[in-house]
């Protein structure tokens, strides 16, 4: 059995061998981030000097040197424009998407050449890679403080529903912080690893992961130290942040007749909504005063407010169970992951839906980082004691655009990775000299309803009648879920290879 503990510079040192290579797991979260390490018997979650394992994923740019974590969180009310919160939600998103989803954010945005959002802060343009790397740097410094050595080898968890662009950005952020990324590991899979080794669980397991900004649900089959993902899905805009915004709207519209463009006031109200949400996890009502307005919110009111979010998560669960080709009765265990699963109505509805009591014996905030640390230790030490076989899948289909703005899928969602698939295509007009290859991700048949990942042009095509030139397109996905594409002309062997880059379209 694996045990999980916390350590910091004031506690007993984690037991390692002299000259041992230490690897780490990082849970890069929307609201909080964590770092941990593991050996054969223990997982050690690294805390700061105040024994706080959680690091708020917040960066403030009021001064020449960025401020990260708890200090930045304390500055968010008085300086909301320069304090970036929930940066994970912006990764891989376009300016259009952000403004549609979050119209009231205080930040100054711009769109870059790859149609992803950037921030203008103190006349400086920062992208999501720059900002995320500050969080990785701060976690890295915890290791330097505790172990007196540089952190290098890491496994970083990502939402199962992250697309290729988002995974690339996470990897680049870590590399900017001088971290050697051993693997990108899906968050639900990391949780399954922790529970599988901690409680020796086996059978069909559902991982219900509702965090600060994202929701994932994965179905796994655990047998003979094989962790096989059967299906996975989720939403990038479903989490604790959304609960906070719904409660904020309820407070403003139903209780406090307060409509102001004051950014500090809006942030203060949002923090209040978050505080009320947390208190209602262990209280039946909360009475408070805000700017001379006294009000009370009951747990029943709160449950009604967040009902749409709960129903959305359960609807996604329904589709994932169908994709796994099982029934609810086939599921042996349900594991709760993510801070939002502390909310009583969520635990109750999950229990009712799956018809069994969910497991949360490992802290839902810490289970993902524990699994990532275990995986990092396995990849580094290659020991046979706790070693497992991990069979993960891709969460979204991949394909290319063909005539009529239609998507030709090449690799389908829930395909085991790593994987390589090849398709043959032909020219559609006489004497065609080049072909534009447009790579997309998603389940819709229309290219306009899928996520555009990249475009590149295959040139120097032999001038022949339409349909006479054959182009071979090969998609390869590695264990991190990262995509590379090779396109070549069959008759001439002219070839072009591309790794999807978030800065390239």
Q: ∠393-397-402 over CA atoms, to 5°?
A: 155
**486: DSSP letter:** E
Q: Which long-range contacts (CB under 8 A, 24 or more apart) does 353-358 make?
A: 353/314, 353/317, 353/328, 354/206, 354/317, 354/328, 355/328, 355/329, 356/331, 358/208, 358/334
- C-alpha to C-alpha distance for 441 and 478, rounded to whole angstroms: 16
Taking the CB of residue 125, how many other CB atoms lie within 10 A of it?
A: 12
* CA distance between the termini of the chain: 47
Reply yes or no on whether 27 is catalytic. yes
Read off the tokens for 459: 């040139």
Given 88, 140, 171, 277, which residue is catalytic? 88
Q: ∠37-38-41 over CA atoms, to 5°?
A: 155
Q: Which residue has the tokens 């009712």?
A: 352
Q: Which of these, 228, 160, 180, 131, lies nearest to 26 by C-alpha position?
A: 180
Given 48, 209, 216, 244, which residue is catalytic? 209
- In the three-class reduction of DSSP (H, G, I as helix; E, B as strand; rest coil), residue 393 is classed as strand
Q: Can you spell out the DSSP letters for 35-97?
A: EEEE-SSEEEEEP-TT----EE-EEE-SSSS-EETHHHHHHTTT-STTEEE-GGGGTT--HHH
Check: CB of residue 211 under 8 Å from CB of residue 200: no
**253: DSSP letter:** I
Q: Which of these, 379, 418, 414, 391, lies nearest to 227 by C-alpha position?
A: 391
Per DSSP, what are the bridge partners of residue 204? 221
Q: Which of these, 392, 394, 338, lies nearest to 209 by C-alpha position?
A: 338
Reply yes or no on whether 88 is catalytic. yes
Q: Can you spell out the DSSP letters for 256-321?
A: -------HHHHHHHHHHHHHHHHHTTT-SEEEEEETTEEEEEEHHHHHHHHHHHHHHHHHHHHHHH
Given 130, 187, 216, 401, which residue is catalytic? 187
- C-alpha to C-alpha distance for 437 and 457, rounded to whole angstroms: 6
Check: CB of residue 427 under 8 Å from CB of residue 477: no
Read off the tokens for 118: 């950037």
- C-alpha to C-alpha distance for 272 and 276, rounded to whole angstroms: 6
The catalytic residue positions are 27, 88, 187, 209
């Amino acid at each position: 059995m694996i045990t999980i503990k916390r350590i910091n510079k004031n506690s007993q040192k984690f037991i390692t061998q002299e000259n041992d290579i230490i690897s780490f797991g990082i849970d890069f979260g929307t609201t909080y981030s964590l770092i941990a390490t593991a050996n054969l018997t223990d997982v050690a979650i690294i805390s700061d000097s105040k024994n706080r394992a959680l690091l708020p994923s917040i960066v403030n740019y009021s001064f020449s040197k960025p401020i990260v974590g708890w200090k930045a969180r304390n500055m968010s009310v008085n300086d909301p424009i320069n304090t970036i919160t929930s940066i994970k939600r912006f990764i891989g998103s376009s300016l259009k998407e952000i403004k549609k989803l979050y119209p009231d954010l205080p930040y100054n945005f711009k769109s870059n050449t790859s149609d992803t959002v950037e921030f203008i802060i103190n006349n400086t343009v920062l992208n999501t890679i720059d900002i995320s790397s500050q969080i990785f740097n701060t976690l890295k410094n915890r290791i330097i403080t505790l172990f007196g050595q540089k952190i290098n080898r890491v496994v970083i968890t990502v939402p199962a529903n992250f697309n290729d662009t988002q995974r690339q950005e996470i990897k680049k952020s870590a590399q900017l912080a001088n971290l050697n990324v051993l693997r990108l590991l899906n968050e639900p899979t990391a949780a399954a690893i922790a529970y599988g080794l901690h409680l020796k669980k086996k059978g069909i397991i559902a991982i219900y992961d509702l965090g600060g900004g994202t929701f994932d649900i994965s179905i796994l089959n655990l047998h003979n130290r094989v962790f096989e993902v059967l299906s996975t899905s989720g939403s990038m805009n479903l989490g604790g942040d959304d609960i906070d915004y719904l409660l904020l709207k309820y407070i403003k519209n139903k209780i406090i007749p307060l409509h102001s463009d004051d950014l500090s006031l809006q942030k203060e109200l949002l923090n209040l909504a978050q505080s009320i949400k947390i208190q209602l996890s262990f209280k039946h009502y909360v009475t408070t005063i805000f700017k001379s307005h006294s009000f009370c919110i009951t747990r029943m009111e709160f449950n009604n407010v967040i009902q749409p979010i709960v129903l959305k998560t359960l609807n996604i669960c329904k589709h994932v169970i169908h994709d796994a080709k099982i029934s609810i009765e086939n599921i042996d265990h349900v594991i709760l992951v993510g801070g939002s699963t502390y909310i009583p109505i969520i635990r109750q509805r999950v229990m009712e839906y799956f018809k069994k009591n969910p497991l949360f014996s490992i802290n839902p905030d810490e289970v993902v980082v524990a699994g990532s640390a275990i995986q990092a230790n396995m990849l580094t030490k290659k020991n046979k004691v706790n070693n497992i076989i991990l069979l993960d899948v891709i969460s979204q289909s991949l394909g290319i655009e063909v005539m009529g703005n239609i998507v030709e899928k090449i690799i389908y969602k829930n395909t085991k990775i790593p994987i390589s698939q090849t398709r043959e295509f032909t020219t559609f007009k006489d004497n065609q000299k080049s072909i534009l290859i447009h790579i997309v991700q998603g389940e819709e048949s229309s290219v306009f309803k899928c996520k555009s990942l990249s475009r590149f042009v295959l040139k120097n095509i032999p001038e022949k009648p339409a349909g006479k030139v054959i182009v071979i397109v090969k998609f390869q996905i590695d264990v991190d879920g990262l995509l590379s594409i090779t396109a070549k002309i069959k008759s001439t062997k002219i070839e072009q290879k591309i790794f999807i880059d978030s800065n390239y379209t």
